[in-house]
Each structure stands twice: as structure tokens, then as C-alpha cells.
Structure 1
Amino acid sequence: MGDRKAFFYGTLMSRRILFRVIYLNEKADQDPVMSRMADQLTYEPAILHSYGRFKVQGYDYPGIRRAEGYCVRGTYVTGLTDANMAHLDAFEGSQYHLEKVRVGILESAKPLGEEKGEGVSRALEEGQEVEAETYVWNKSDVGLETTEWDFGEFVRDKLQNWVGSSDEYQESDDAHARNEGHDPTGGRGARSDKWKQ
């Protein structure tokens, strides 16, 4: 289990995409061998204040930048290894830099409408503040739209383009290959015979 902690606010909020990048297997949690690695990760909803999440012009993914009056909801993930982060660095490329931030963990509050006996949905309230690493857009406002990026819209309209084989993963796949000998999976995830042994 690794000791790196990250805040994901875009496509990597999808576990399928996260697993594809760090394990080369979008269904790592369902693979009998790989699930042991995937089970080492923990996920919690979180919020990052004073940053805005905006669409990157011409692409399906967002970038964040400092923006007073804004906040970004995302996922706080713990248990990441240095090798996982190297694959994420390659996936994010030169458009982003890794920055340490503080995020608030979102916790369930009392059900909304409980006092009237309606309590179906639950409100989220901010709890403990923790440190994490996150990928921040490198180019200030250049290349970012003024429109905020929406994860639900991405899942509904674009996720199917990102699962399976995609050119989006080429740089992270190359990083896996370069890590041959440093990554316990030999850079190929648990699909390799070497790792299964």
C-alpha cells in the first residue's frame, strides 16, 4: 500500500479510467489478482476551495486553476504508490503540474426533510481537512473555457469514448513500459505472467 494521497476532479474520478491509467486494466477491481492492489485504495468525496474547474478547449477533460469564490468537488484517494503517481504524471502530461492542496472531506449529514418524516436524500457537509496532491492547469487561463466542467455530463456523454482502447492512454502506457524492473508488475499490470507468479 502506498502513502500518496491525491485529489481527482475530472476524468480520473471514474475508477475505470483511474484503473486504466495506474494498472493498465480498467476493471482491476474485478480481476482476482489485481483486485488486491485496487483494494488498497480508499475513496472519499471531497471539496477544494478557491479553485475553479473549467472545460479545456476542444477536449473532454477539465483543468483547474485558482479562482476566488469557486470550489471544486472531487474524489480524495489514498493508498497510491510512487509508481501510480508516475503513471498519472505521464497521463496528465505537460499541461498540468502537481500541486499540494488542502481539501475538505465531505461527510453525510442528517437526511434532508427528516424533521417532516420525508428524509430521502442526504446533505453533505464538510468535515476534516486533509492534504493531497492534485493536477493544476499549467497555462493560467490559456486553453480553458469560461464554462465549468461537469462530471455527470462527462459520464453521460463521453465516458464510453474513454473505456477500452483509447489514444488518451498512450503516454501512461509508455510510462508503464519505462518502469519495467521498477514496477512490481513489470509495467504490465497483473496481466503479465511475471506478476501472477
Structure 2
Amino acid sequence: MAITRPEPSATPRPLFLYGTLRAMPLLAWALTGDSQKTDAVAPLVKPAELKGYARFSLLGKDYPALIKHNETSIVDGLLLCPQNKSQRRKLDDFEGEAYTVTPVQVAVVGEEGQMVEADIYLWNGERDAVSADCWDLDIFIKERLDDWIELFGGMQLVGDDEDA
């Protein structure tokens, strides 16, 4: 099994996205400030899976929590390879303080045996806030994505554009 390690450089570590940022318009907004620029961010992501964790709904929230779980649990998501530190800072700011950046190894879907070192945003909030229900991206897209895009419209996350 091959493990890909990011080369030491100005390029930040890949991120495993498992929640709202898998909605491409929201990811485009977070990285570019424009939810319509999905074509600009699509080449940065690949389908991936993370073992040993589970994704749950948070009580009263539109977004999920990722928590350590049993070894057979698998979370589907996207492996994002940010182009620069500015993009990474924008995503770190978007996720906020309720999450802790945690290193993991993810499997790239369709590339048998290809494991990549990446970071996740691991839930660091109150355990009582985590529902027993699994979080569903399709429900988020259908019921809440437009509201999120409208809420964030005209705003931009700030990263240092010197390395953009």
C-alpha cells in the first residue's frame, strides 16, 4: 500500500472534507469568494474515504461533526489539495474553533491502495451536541445550501493573498 506524503514546500497539507464543504458551490465560495466558480475548484478535489471515524448531525445545526468511531466505520468525502496557504487559512477560518485539525490517512477512491496523509476538522465541541443521526449531504444541499449561499453572498473569507 503506497502512502503519499506532501512534499515539503509552501503547499499546505491536503484536507479531507466530509460535510458542508462537499457542496461545490459552498467550497467555491470559501476558496474564491464566488459560489459560481465551481469549475475553478473542481480540479482540486478527488473522492476519498476515511476509516475509523463517523459523521453525525449536530443538534440544531446544518453541519456535521466527525468523531472517532470503530475501525469498520467509513466516511465518504473529498480529498482537497489546496493550491496555497491562503486557501487553507480560509478553510481553517470557515470551520472555526469547534473543530481541531487532526492528521489522518485517507484512501483515494478509484486508486486502489493509494493512501494520502491529510488533515481533518475533528469535532472538538460538546459531546452532548452530537446527535445519534447520521448527517446527509443531499438533505443539506436540497434544504439548506441556498440559504447558506445567500447568507454568505457578498462576503469573503480572508487569507493572505501573497501566496495566492
Using structure 1 for the length normalisation, give the TM-score. Answer: 0.68
CA contact (8 A) 1:55 1:145 kept: yes
Query: Which amino acid is the alignment partner of residue 105 of structure 1?
Result: V
Tell me how far 1:12 sits from its aligned partner.
0.3
Matched ranges for 1:1-197 at <5 A: 2-29=11-38, 35=40, 38=41, 41-68=43-70, 69-107=72-110, 127-139=113-125, 141-166=127-152, 173=156, 175-176=157-158, 179=159, 182-184=160-162
CA contact (8 A) 2:86 2:163 kept: no
**Which whole-Å deviations, capped at 9, do the CAs of 1:13-43 have from their partners, x for residues lacking one?**
112111211221112246xxxx4xx47x422
**What SS is found at the alignment partner of 1:80?**
coil
Which range is displaced more, 50-59 or 77-86? 77-86
Larger Rg: 1
Tell me how far 1:126 sits from its aligned partner.
5.2
Structure 2: gaps (5+ residues): 1-9
CA contact (8 A) 2:24 2:38 kept: no
Partners of 2:103 and 2:30 lie apart in 1 by 21
Identity %: 28
Tell me how far 1:184 sits from its aligned partner.
4.1
**Which whole-Å deviations, capped at 9, do the CAs of 1:142-164 have from their partners, x for residues lacking one?**
31101110112211222221223
CA contact (8 A) 1:5 1:80 kept: no
CA RMSD, aligned part only?
2.6
Query: Which amino acid is the alignment partner of residue 98 of structure 2?
Result: Q
Count of residues in correspondence between the two structures: 154
Q: Which runs of 4+ in 1 moved over 6 A?
A: none
